[in-house]
Structure 1
Amino acid sequence: MKNTQAYRLIEVIDEQTHNEFFDLPVQLYRNDKNWSQPLDNDILAILDPERNKLLAEGESQCWILKDESESTVGRIAAFYEKESAVTNEQPTGGVGFFECINDKDAAFMLFDAGKEWLKERGMEAMDGPVSLGMRDSFWGCLVDGFHEPVYNMPYNFPYYRELFEAYGFRDYFRQHTYQRKFEPGGLHPAIRRRADYLLSQPEYHVKMIEKGNKQFAYDFKEVYNKAWAEFNGIKGLSEQEAMELLKTMEPIMDERLVYFAYHKDQPIGFFVMMPDLGQISRRFRGKWNWLTRLRFFYHLKISQSVDRVIGRIFGVIPEFQGKGVEGAMVMAFEKEAMKPSFPYKTLELNWIGDFNPVMMKVAEFIGGKIYKTHITYRYLFDRNKEFKRAPKVNMSKKKPASTPSVKF
């Protein structure tokens, strides 16, 4: 029997509960040197209806949990967005930003709160710990590789896995992070041969991005919408959204880290990497203001404090997959990475799902090794319903298996 009398669940509705929601992880991880405090603004961009457009067709709710001494011992958020919720076999919402002491009673009260809230809004399942929007931030429970996290990638205590699974969450899919050091010989010879053959044909070429050139925003939109068309819960980009994305990226972009592939001058693939901003933002204790902005750009542009690169997104449209396009883009990047002036030491390819075995092979062929593993869990409200893991992507014989993404 649950000892729920020891805890009190409180909705986050005012400044005090808001502050307690954000302060809890600081207290929990105060002795963990690997933990990096996310920027409060990055979390609010997901949970605040005024900042997250998806909440115009959905809702979110946050709770904190207090013990008998009035200390905050847990937190959770629940949310859904109508359009993506119904792309699953059953309407599915999400819970995320979960933090808790190592106590099943406390954790189960938080999970119950999310479940009942989502049930009341017509959901029949919940995924967790997840976010609301693109899957590249705050998504998954870390279960292996408890190293310093890159920017906005989840980090949690090892016991979180036990709390989720004891409640009844099941492993829906796993997300692997592959790491590669920048040193010669990392690219598999077969990938190099295929890429060399591709680039020997005049209709193919790879280009490094140029800041200020708006054409790359349109090229990104074309590839993204074609490469991701088959994925449930992923909406296409409009031209305006692509332009806004490029505008957001440009201040922190390093042109040496973004590549596009073309066939007869039509975009067919991209490989987008970014400096790991987490190596800088972890200094700011969650705050983003004029002073931290100055410090941020000093560390990024002047002192060059970042030596780690994140593979943000990797896409090739279906009809050109398996022809060497992936390797051609990696070869172009490798050429830059081997220069003495290149400031970065390692690359982390985040968010490669185990439902995408072809992309896992690509990560291995370009020299990556599994460095971390996260799990995205699913909990079906009907406990008698058959649980199904995420299906493998595009495994039909009519098309080559999809290799669209490092993060998607």
Structure 2
Amino acid sequence: MQLIEITEKRTKKLFHKVPHLIYKDDPNWACPLEGMVESIFEPQKNPSFKRGEAIRWVLLGADGNPVGRIAAFYNLDKAKIFEQPTGGCGFFECVDNQEAANMLFDAARDWLKSKGMEAMDGPVNFGENYMNWGLLADGYIPQGFGMPYNPPYYVQLFENYGFQVYFKQFSYHLDTTLPELPDRFWKVAEWVAKKPQFSFKHFSWKEKEKFIDDFAYIYDSAWRFHEHFKPIDKDDLKDFIYTAKSLIEEEFIWFAYHEGEPIAVFVMMPDFNQILAKLNGRITMWNLPKVMWLKWRKTMTRTRSLIIGIVPRYQRSGIEAAMFWHLRPVMYRKPWFTEMELSWAGDFNPKIVALYESVGGKRMKTHYTMRYLFDRNKPFTRAPIISPEQAKKS
């Protein structure tokens, strides 16, 4: 077998060919847009390159056909928040062959070592964690937009190499066609929503800069107490918003304020995977009419929540229920959306797990974020659980 670094058009084509070989008979897979994947590896489009680097390889079998691929990357700002500098590997695809997988993991490990890293997480994204993050370990059903999908045997490939679970990520599904949440929930939600000190606004492109600032403020406030906190990069956020502009529905993104100060955010998007499954990885001038027709035909019947963030001192105020109260009439106007995916909740954050379960979500999928320590004699430590006491410190 032969490893080839991705450097030009021909090798990029090989990189994108691998998943088509892996999932050719899997109806649950939706091919990500090649352009969106490529943008992750373009310094002019991905702000993570400001303090980092990335590299990709494809693995060819004895017959010259691709059998696997992987990317490795690091961001110095994020790498150094851990006890050992930690990079990442991702966009991993491979046939069911441990030798092939090991060659790919070795390439990522050795490159990261040469850059001063002492561990690697995988499979993860070269950017924020609400996209392309985690190894599917349970719930082999169609995934929400941006949520990774892989064959079951991938877990064994990672574990056999020596990766261990750093934390688990749970996704919950809410069937919006079932009887609604209890009246008590909506009474509390309305009561909080109408308190004069609180106000609520949905995202608007006309005020996008203000909402980006508000999102960053809420995100940083909500996660500042975490042991490995790293402020969000606004450029990363802007890049995602503009990349996904055609998918964003303004009334699916809600902000809450206390006397004008941003305190909570809920971000949801239509599940574009339901269209991507029919496009084979590309939007071209030839299939763009098909995309528009599929949107018009209401092909997207699911939504995916990317994030819910609440400043800790308001987490017991009912503010999340109030945001759902404002979202409720929006969903009434769009009855073709019959399912909501709430993803993802880390097992290190029991508050978010409890929130998703309290609104009626059913746990449907589990992803793993896995870590490999380069020093094989070093004790492995799992991600710490966030306690209520930690959250109150914020």
Please give the TM-score of this superposition, normalised by the length of structure 2: 0.92
- CA contact 1:180–1:367 (8 Å) conserved in 2: yes
Q: Aligned partners of 2:260, 2:294: CA distance in 1, in Å?
A: 37
Letter in 1 for 2:70: I
1:154 to partner: Cα distance? 0.8
1:195 to partner: Cα distance? 3.2
Letter in 2 for 1:345: T
Bigger mean CA deviation after superposition, 24-33 or 50-59: 50-59
For residue 3 of structure 2, what is the aligned residue in structure 1? 9
Q: 1:373/1:294 Cα in 2 relative to 1: closer, same or farther (>3 Å)?
A: same
- CA contact 1:44–1:51 (8 Å) conserved in 2: no
TM-superposition CA deviations, 1:166-220 (whole Å, max 9, x none)? 1110000111110001146553667545434433532123334445234434433
Secondary structure (helix, strand or coil) at the match of 2:35 reads helix
1:290 to partner: Cα distance? 3.6
For residue 236 of structure 1, what is the aligned residue in structure 2? 232
For residue 371 of structure 1, what is the aligned residue in structure 2? 364
* 1:199-238 map, 5 Å: 199-214=193-208, 215-231=210-226, 232=228, 234-238=230-234
Aligned pair 1:345/2:335, yes or no? Answer: no
Aligned pair 1:296/2:296, yes or no? Answer: no
Unaligned runs of 5+ in 1: 1-6, 403-408
1:32 to partner: Cα distance? 0.8
Q: Aligned partners of 1:398, 1:83: CA distance in 2, in Å?
A: 23
Aligned pair 1:287/2:279, yes or no? Answer: no
For residue 362 of structure 1, what is the aligned residue in structure 2? 355
Secondary structure (helix, strand or coil) at the match of 1:165 reads helix
Equivalent residue pairs, number: 392
TM-superposition CA deviations, 1:97-128 (whole Å, max 9, x none)? 11111111111111111111111111000001
What RMSD over aligned residues (CA atoms) do the two structures have, in Å?
A: 2.4
2:253 paired residue among 258, 268, 273: 258
Q: 1:213/1:375 Cα in 2 relative to 1: closer, same or farther (>3 Å)?
A: same
Aligned pair 1:274/2:269, yes or no? Answer: yes
For residue 24 of structure 2, what is the aligned residue in structure 1? 30
Secondary structure (helix, strand or coil) at the match of 2:89 reads strand
2:389 paired residue among 385, 391, 397: 397
1:92 to partner: Cα distance? 0.4
Letter in 2 for 1:76: I
For residue 176 of structure 1, what is the aligned residue in structure 2? 170
Q: 1:353/1:242 Cα in 2 relative to 1: closer, same or farther (>3 Å)?
A: closer
TM-superposition CA deviations, 1:345-373 (whole Å, max 9, x none)? 00001121111111000000011011111
TM-superposition CA deviations, 1:41-67 (whole Å, max 9, x none)? 111121222321212322111111122
For residue 318 of structure 1, what is the aligned residue in structure 2? 312
- CA contact 1:299–1:305 (8 Å) conserved in 2: yes
Bigger mean CA deviation after superposition, 49-58 or 141-150: 49-58
- CA contact 1:191–1:365 (8 Å) conserved in 2: no
- CA contact 1:220–1:270 (8 Å) conserved in 2: yes
Secondary structure (helix, strand or coil) at the match of 1:212 reads helix
Q: Aligned partners of 1:340, 1:36: CA distance in 2, in Å?
A: 27
Identical residues among aligned pairs (%): 38
- CA contact 1:268–1:316 (8 Å) conserved in 2: yes
Unaligned runs of 5+ in 2: none
1:129 to partner: Cα distance? 0.7
Please give the TM-score of this superposition, normalised by the length of structure 1: 0.89
Bigger mean CA deviation after superposition, 222-231 or 275-284: 222-231
TM-superposition CA deviations, 1:137-180 (whole Å, max 9, x none)? 21111010101122121111100000100111000011111000
- CA contact 1:172–1:375 (8 Å) conserved in 2: yes
Q: Aligned partners of 2:118, 2:178: CA distance in 1, in Å?
A: 50
For residue 72 of structure 2, what is the aligned residue in structure 1? 78
Secondary structure (helix, strand or coil) at the match of 2:12 reads helix
- CA contact 2:35–2:282 (8 Å) conserved in 1: yes
Secondary structure (helix, strand or coil) at the match of 1:314 reads strand
1:307 to partner: Cα distance? 0.7
Q: Aligned partners of 1:114, 1:244: CA distance in 2, in Å?
A: 26
Letter in 2 for 1:344: F
1:401 to partner: Cα distance? 9.1
For residue 3 of structure 1, what is the aligned residue in structure 2? none
Secondary structure (helix, strand or coil) at the match of 1:35 reads coil
Bigger mean CA deviation after superposition, 290-299 or 328-337: 290-299
For residue 4 of structure 1, what is the aligned residue in structure 2? none
Aligned pair 1:97/2:91, yes or no? Answer: yes
- CA contact 2:5–2:11 (8 Å) conserved in 1: yes
